[in-house]
Amino acid sequence: MIVIVDYNMGNVASVANMLSRIGVEEAVLSRDPQDILRASKIILPGVGAFDRGVEHLDRYGLRGPLNGRVLEEGVPVLGICLGMQLLTEASSEGSRPGLGWIPGHTRRFSFGSGSALKVPHMGWNYVQSKRPNPLVSGAEKNRYYFVHSYYVAPARPEHVVATAQYGIEFACAVGHDNVWGVQFHPEKSHRFGMSLLKNFVDL
């Protein structure tokens, strides 16, 4: 059973719909810790502010079960957008500690007053694979849909799976052992997103 963590931070239904489109029958939206304890894979989606996301995970008593399943039992997890940012230790957006599964921090785009680039980074963008990884297999030259003002800066270069360009080169996919994260929205990225989610399901 794949559990899509519904911690009241948006876009969970669209992730469930995309999983249904690729033929996944056992996927549930849940914030019940007991469901997380039974999950074979976990998806942590989300849109919104970092501190609010952390607050909701703690309010629903999810941090402990998630840590146990992911860190101790090795259950595969995929963070999407805010979910990827929550994998880090902290964010310049707030003061609460993240999950810390990917060493590093989440930072805001900053281009200076003379730049024509707008924040948030919004729209379609290409990704560049940085190392072989089953999550992004076949993703070279694929386009994905982004909406974000913050990006993940991993502390260890080997955790960067893929990058994109928006004023700077930034990590748009990370991976370490059984933990993966993508900054873009596979559930809004049509066939490219379907392919990536299928890769996760098939891990």
Please provide residue 59's backbone torsions phi and psi, each rounded to the nearest 5 degrees.
-60, -40
Q: How far apart are CA 83 and CA 130, in angstroms?
A: 21
Annotated catalytic residue within 56, 72, 185, 190: 185
Domain boundaries, the chain: 2-201
Q: Is the pTM of this model over 0.85?
A: yes
Which two three-digit tokens encode residue 177? 């052992």
Provide the mean pLDDT of the chain. 94
Q: What integer pLDDT is reported at residue 139 of this predicted model?
A: 66
pLDDT tens by residue, 33-68 = 999 999 999 999 999 999 999 999 999 999 999 999
Question: Is 169 annotated as catalytic?
Answer: no
SS3 24: coil
Q: How far apart are CA 97 and CA 89, in angstroms?
A: 6
- Is the confidence at residue 152, as pLDDT, over 80? yes
CATH for 2-201 (3.20.20.80, 3.40.50.20, 3.20.20.370, 3.40.50.880): 3.40.50.880
Annotated catalytic residue within 81, 121, 148, 172: 81
- Is the confidence at residue 138, as pLDDT, over 80? no
Question: Is 187 annotated as catalytic?
Answer: yes
